[in-house]
């Protein structure tokens, strides 16, 4: 990226006993960008966010924001807006008072009228101006989280930090609020670091997604590039669904089920390997030489998820358009073919 970086995390390291939560972790963020850190529990994503917030002391490394080294600055001097899984609203304060609180603490010289005006604008931004006089116990979980977001934005932070902000909500509310967060972030233009273990959240709203494993950033890329062009077997298997199907790599291609498919950089270069095939890359047809049998069919609205058993007893999952594949039945013998898109090939 050619733009000037707003945030630079440079070779951050942090150990907890024998566990390396961050291992020379580096990340750069452009102004106004939303970056999501994705990974399994214990991979270090929350430690990275807490380090940026000033809530976690590092063993080594530097944190640069706005061109200024803030590595040793206390949390209250970093101008970070933070939203966590727990809403952390003050139960005795109304929605408006909760949003005002950050302004009161940060900008003591601002008049009450100015604070209230700013807070009302933010409540309007998160679509809760009609609830400004309600107390937290009178609001739903999604509404409380939007209040927490408004409060974090009230101080005009250099960076907005979101640590699993949606994990306590039910699936429907989580999906709606995820889109709301992205709308608000784009409207305000605040550089944002979003930590989650939910792939749909990360891929759905982020400009770029970083996948972490054991304190290391395995890959950072746009959601489409991360999904289509994983650089490691861990990223290929962690992001989305894959079918590991055995084949043989030769001259940059892997032969799977009689088909030669291009392998991605970083794959096994020769010999026996497993091709990691996406379910949507699998097509089914009926002909006189079947190589698979349908075990189950799951209805997913516009899609069908079909589990099959190959002739060698390997089980694979295909994801098909419901409109084009309505004639398949459990027990049908079919021919499985793979779309010729590049795949990652890993060691057996």
In the chain, count of helices (H) and strands (E)?
Answer: 8, 20
pLDDT of residue 108: 67
Residue 80, Cβ density class (10 Å: 0-12 exposed, 13-18 middle, ≥19 buried): buried
pLDDT for 110 beyond 60 = yes
How far apart CA 286 and CA 100 sit, in angstroms, is 65
pLDDT for 22 beyond 50 = yes
pLDDT of residue 325: 65
Helix (H, G, I), strand (E, B) or coil at 93: coil
107 vs 101 pLDDT, higher one: 101
How far apart CA 34 and CA 27 sit, in angstroms, is 13
Q: What is the pTM of this model?
A: 0.90
Q: Is the dihedral of CA 105, 109, 113, 117 positive or negative?
A: negative
How far apart CA 345 and CA 248 sit, in angstroms, is 9
What's the Rg (C-alpha) of the chain? 24
pLDDT for 134 beyond 70 = yes
Q: Scan for tokens 């139960």, then name that residue.
A: 91
Both tokens of residue 326? 């309505």
For the segment 186-235, what is each residue's pLDDT rounded down to a tens digit?
A: 999 999 999 998 898 999 999 999 999 999 999 999 999 999 999 999 99
Ordered by where they begin, the domains of the chain are 5-228 (3.40.50.300), 241-346 (2.40.50.100)
pLDDT for 1 beyond 60 = no
Q: Scan for tokens 């009302």, then name that residue.
A: 120
Asked if 210 and 35 touch (Cβ cutoff 8 Å), the reply is: yes
For the segment 281-332, what is each residue's pLDDT rounded down to a tens digit?
A: 999 998 889 999 999 999 888 889 999 999 999 999 999 987 766 688 999 9
**Residue of 336, 298, 334, 304 lying closest to 319 (CA atoms):** 304
For the segment 51-79, what is each residue's pLDDT rounded down to a tens digit?
A: 999 999 999 999 999 999 999 999 989 99
pLDDT for 343 beyond 90 = yes
How far apart CA 274 and CA 138 sit, in angstroms, is 53
pLDDT above 70 covers a percentage of the chain that reads 98
For the segment 169-187, what is each residue's pLDDT rounded down to a tens digit?
A: 887 888 888 899 999 999 9
The edge-to-edge listing of strands for the beta sheet with 60-65 is: 19-30, 5-16, 60-65, 68-69
pLDDT of residue 191: 96
111 vs 12 pLDDT, higher one: 12
């Amino acid at each position: 990226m050619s733009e000037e970086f707003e945030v630079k995390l440079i070779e951050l390291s942090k150990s907890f006993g024998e566990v390396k939560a961050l291992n020379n972790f580096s990340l750069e963020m452009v102004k106004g960008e939303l970056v999501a850190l994705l990974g399994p529990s214990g991979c270090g994503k929350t430690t990275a966010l807490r380090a940026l917030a000033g809530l976690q002391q590092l063993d080594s490394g530097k944190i640069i924001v706005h061109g200024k080294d803030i590595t040793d600055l206390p949390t209250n001097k970093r101008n970070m807006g933070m939203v966590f899984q727990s809403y952390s609203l003050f139960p005795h304060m109304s929605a408006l008072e909760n949003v005002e609180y950050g302004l009161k603490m940060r900008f003591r010289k601002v008049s009450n009228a100015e604070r209230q005006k700013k807070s009302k604008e933010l409540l309007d931004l998160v679509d809760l101006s009609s609830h400004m006089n309600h107390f937290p116990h009178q609001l739903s979980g999604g509404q409380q989280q939007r209040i927490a977001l408004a409060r974090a934005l009230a101080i005009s932070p250099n960076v907005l930090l979101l640590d699993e902000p949606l994990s306590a909500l039910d699936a429907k509310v989580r999906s709606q609020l995820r889109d709301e967060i992205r709308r608000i972030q784009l409207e305000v233009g605040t550089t944002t670091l979003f930590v989650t273990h939910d792939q749909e959240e990360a891929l759905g709203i982020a400009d770029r997604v970083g996948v972490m494993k054991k304190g290391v950033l395995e890959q950072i890329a746009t959601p489409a590039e991360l999904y289509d062009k994983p650089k490691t077997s861990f990223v290929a298997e962690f992001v989305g669904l894959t079918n590991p199907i055995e084949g043989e790599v030769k001259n940059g291609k892997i032969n799977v089920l009689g088909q030669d498919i291009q392998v991605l950089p970083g794959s096994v270069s020769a010999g026996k390997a497993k091709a990691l095939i996406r379910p949507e890359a699998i097509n089914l047809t009926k002909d006189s030489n079947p190589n698979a049998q349908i075990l189950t069919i799951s209805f997913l609205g516009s899609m069908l998820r079909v589990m099959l058993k190959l002739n060698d007893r390997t089980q694979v999952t295909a994801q098909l358009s419901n409109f084009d594949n309505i004639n398949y039945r459990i027990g049908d013998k079919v021919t499985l073919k793979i779309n010729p898109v590049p795949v990652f090939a890993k060691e057996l």
